């Protein structure tokens, strides 16, 4: 699915936000966040990002930590009020 240009913000950091020490870039695509490292991240790095996004699904794949987007409401099952 193509993204609107204003939904893609690469790279970006949030003021006051703590990222793992190996962080090279932080990219946002819509509500998803991709943290790319200069080397493989460790579980402590994953836990730091999970703490930053407590209600989101966060995964680790070597040198990439992904904060998955929140699901939009599914109006196909229940019509909006």
- In angstroms, the CA 25 to CA 59 distance is 16
> Which strand ranges, in their side-by-side order, compose the sheet holding 23-29?
8-9, 23-29, 32-37, 64-67, 58-61
Task: Note the pLDDT of residue 31.
Answer: 86
Candidates 38, 51, 49; CA nearest to 13 is: 49
Residue 67 has pLDDT above 80, yes or no: yes
More confident residue, 7 or 39: 39
Q: Calculate the alpha carbon distances from 66 to 20, 36, 46, 76, 80 in Å.
A: 13, 9, 9, 28, 30
% of the chain exceeding 90 in pLDDT: 48
Residue 56 has pLDDT above 70, yes or no: yes
């Amino acid at each position: 699915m193509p993204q609107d240009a204003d939904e893609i913000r690469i790279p970006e950091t949030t003021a006051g936000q703590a990222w793992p020490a190996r962080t090279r870039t932080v990219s946002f695509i819509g509500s998803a966040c991709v943290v790319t490292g200069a080397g493989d991240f460790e579980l402590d790095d994953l836990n730091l990002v999970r703490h930053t996004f407590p209600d989101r699904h966060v995964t680790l794949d070597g040198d990439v930590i992904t904060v998955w987007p929140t699901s939009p409401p599914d109006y196909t099952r229940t019509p909006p009020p």
